[in-house]
Amino acid sequence: MHTFYIAPTSFGVGLTSVALGLVRALDSVGLRVSFCKPIAQQHASDQGPERSTQMIQQVMGFTPPPPISLERVEDLLGDNKRDMLMEEIVEQFDRAAIDADVVIVEGLVPTRAAPYVTGLNGDIAKTLDADVILVASGQEDSLSEVADKLEITADNFGGIQHRKVIGYIINKLSLEQVQQIEDSSSEVFDKLPEFRRKQFHPIGYIPWNEDMSSPRTKEIADLLQTQILYKGDIEQRRVTGKVLCARTAANICHLLKPGKLIICPGDRDDIILATCMAASNGVPLAGLLLTNGIEPHEQIMNLCKKNVQQHGLPILLTQLNSYNTATTLDRLNNEVPIDDRERIELVMNSVADKLNGEWLKERCGTEVEIRMSPPAFRYQLIKRANQAKKRIVLPEGNEPRTVRAASICHERGIAECILLGKTDEIHQVAQDQGFQLPESIIIMEPDIVRGRYISPMVELRKHKGLNAPMAEAQLEDNVVLGTMMLAQGEVDGLVSGAVHTTANTIRPAFQLIKTHPDAKLVSSIFFMLLPEQVLVYGDCAVNPDPNAEELADIAIQSADSAAAFGILPKVAMISYSTGSSGTGSDVEKVREATKIAQQKRPDLLIDGPLQYDAAAIENVAKKKAPNSPVAGKATVFVFPDLNTGNTTYKAVQRSADVISVGPMLQGLRKPVNDLSRGALVDDIVYTIALTAIQADQFSSRK
């Protein structure tokens, strides 16, 4: 499935018309096309639903998801909840993308009231990992100025050179501009070297078509709230121009042409008679608009009545004077009305005819590196956790961030959380933070339930000489108590670490949960939510110095975990050397681990040793590892030891202000996950969601 994000260079480029044309063009070349308008941007005169979505529904026969209101967007941005906004947009997109080969996503138009949408367009395109098509207008700019605007707008998406900025469409061109572009000697766009880039493609040049912006006479009547003296063909007649009559009839006869709206005061008998005569001669005028609230003389109307009725000339009356009428008409919204099926079809077909649909089809068939964006990753976490419906125990039940996270998880249906702690104390923590716990949250008091886990724990650890008093003492630790609940199958997963160390969290799991039969060791990964994509780092929390065999297992576990969460695994075995350039015991360990992993799992893309820059950056990869299937494209980074892994993850997290989710433990029979002691509430929520998904995967293996 492919995604095209349509973004304007400025206000008034005809973005909706181009989006509609793209849908028709791609549909015409045999692709299953869907459409998504993530955020509604209503015109001031709009009274009904968002127009792009409704027009697509009428013409194409499918129903795009309803867009988010601009008011909600501004509320979320004002509350610093940009991530939540992106998750909602991903949810919309996923609904639109069902069974589609390609999705057209219509972006936002920058206005004085909403200048922030320029940056928002860039964020949404990155989130959806979309190809970006820029849309400009030649109506008020020279071609040189259009080229400059395209280059400036491209900077919001990484620049014209960015692999995702694939081309441009120029709308509303004059015939002279079209001729200039078609002239082979023209160097308007070649003046910028970036425009010569093969992938930055001219997708379409669309000439101005008066009919595409011609309103029906009906829209004029609605705008001015006119009295309709004669309805005529008011639903079908279109206004291609306006004639404001101040001169005598003899001096305006040459202006009485098809599509013209004749405007004059109601006492101008000569203009009224001339207009009706033109109509009787077969001229399909748009209508006669009478001003100043003056109705024509009854005898004049009787004289014209037969011709008017026979030839369908609409006659309207407004209370405004002629000047104010003309001024108001200049403010008419030229966007296509939702119920104007004829004009919608005209726009779609006219624009589609000028677009290079075959090139776009080829682009859809081109393999493009698929990247999981952070909002998409978070959205998928929440969605899959909702479906899993698992019970997660939280041993740090009175810790404020944990209490808040548990509340959010219940409100959003992420998991059924069980807080370990004293009921009064936990409710007081919630009250101190200004919220009430949902009634569905379960609070278990350790002092009340501890006794029932003593015997089962003795049974699990009797080979280590554990007796009842020792078990009771260990169960004083809520992490141990929660782990026993997991071991007994009373809960599906455990999350801890907001106040406990990693060792405190995972030691009971090693002792009571044990490793999975298919795993030789327990390891960990972090999901690193970089600005444009999610990467997997392993092992950064558990194994201090794994040997080659263990490192190979960590690589395989990490690849499988990445795939389980929707990230295409391309595994880079990290070292201080790339390929065969370095020697030493450390690099040899990585080299051997790579061979072992490749032999065990030939279905996976695994390469190493690779330096971090060679694994992550395409330009560096071309120089250091040009033949590597992973270099420059790695999504899973496996570090040679804990010292390297932990240092790297923290350096990236703190220096780049990156959210990290984890560590997620791999290799246990049941999911236990650790938190950073600096974890934010959102970090805990996503870790709970991640744990619920793991639990669902474990149960499906049985």
3-state secondary structure 83-146: HHHHHHHHHHHHHHHCCCCEEEEECCCCCCCCCCHHHHHHHHHHHCCCEEEEEEECCCCCHHHH
Residue 666 burial (C-beta neighbours within 10 Å; 0-12, 13-18, 19+): buried
Evaluate whether 351 touches 325 at the Cβ level (below 8 Å). Answer: no
Q: What's the pLDDT tens digit per position in 519-564? A: 888 899 999 988 778 899 999 888 999 999 999 999 999 999 998 8
Q: What's the pLDDT tens digit per position in 481-504? A: 999 999 999 999 999 988 988 888
* 278 in the same domain as 192: no
Q: What's the pLDDT tens digit per position in 310-332? A: 788 999 999 999 889 988 888 77
**Of the candidates 212, 234, 249, which is a domain's last residue?**
212
Evaluate whether 135 touches 8 at the Cβ level (below 8 Å). Answer: yes
* 676 in the same domain as 635: no
* 116 in the same domain as 205: yes
In a domain, 190, yes or no: yes
pLDDT score at 44: 56
**Of the candidates 307, 330, 353, which is a domain's last residue?**
330
**Dihedral of CA 140/142/143/147: which sign?**
negative
* 480 in the same domain as 416: yes
pLDDT score at 545: 92
Average pLDDT, the chain: 86
* 422 in the same domain as 408: yes
Residue with tokens 């807080």: 419
**Of the candidates 330, 359, 386, which is a domain's last residue?**
330
CATH number of the domain where residue 19 is located = 3.40.50.300
For the chain, the distance separating the N- and C-terminal CA atoms, rounded to the nearest angstrom, is 32
Would you give the distance in Å from CA 602 to the centre of its chain? Answer: 34
* 392 in the same domain as 321: no
Instruction: Please report which confidence band the pLDDT of residue 199 belongs to, taking 50, 70 and 90 as the band edges.
Output: low
CATH number of the domain where residue 267 is located = 3.40.1390.20
Instruction: Please report which confidence band the pLDDT of residue 194 belongs to, taking 50, 70 and 90 as the band edges.
Output: very low
* 492 in the same domain as 436: yes
- State the average pLDDT over residues 346-370: 78
- DSSP calls for 551-594: HHHHHHHHHHHHHHTT---EEEEE-SS-TTS--SHHHHHHHHHH
Q: What is the C-alpha separation between 545 and 368, in angstroms, rounded?
A: 37
In a domain, 148, yes or no: yes
* 245 in the same domain as 196: no
Domain with 427, as residue range(s), is 371-514+670-702
Q: Are strands 523-529 and 534-538 parallel, antiparallel or unpaired?
A: antiparallel
> Left, alpha or beta for 99 (phi > 0: left; psi -120 to 50: alpha)?
left
* 310 in the same domain as 203: no
In a domain, 469, yes or no: yes
pLDDT score at 494: 96
CA count, 13 A, side-chain hemisphere, 69: 5
In a domain, 460, yes or no: yes
CATH number of the domain where residue 650 is located = 3.40.50.10750
pLDDT score at 660: 81
Sheet with 201-207, strands from edge to edge, namely 33-36, 102-106, 2-8, 131-137, 165-173, 201-207
Q: How many distinct structural domains can be found in the chain?
A: 4
CA distances from 311 to 215, 235, 279, 282 (A): 20, 14, 6, 7
CA count, 13 A, side-chain hemisphere, 9: 25
* 175 in the same domain as 28: yes
In a domain, 349, yes or no: no
In a domain, 567, yes or no: yes
- State the average pLDDT over residues 637-663: 88
In a domain, 578, yes or no: yes
In a domain, 347, yes or no: no
* 174 in the same domain as 295: no
* 9 in the same domain as 129: yes
CATH number of the domain where residue 411 is located = 3.40.50.10950
pTM for the predicted model, two decimal places: 0.66
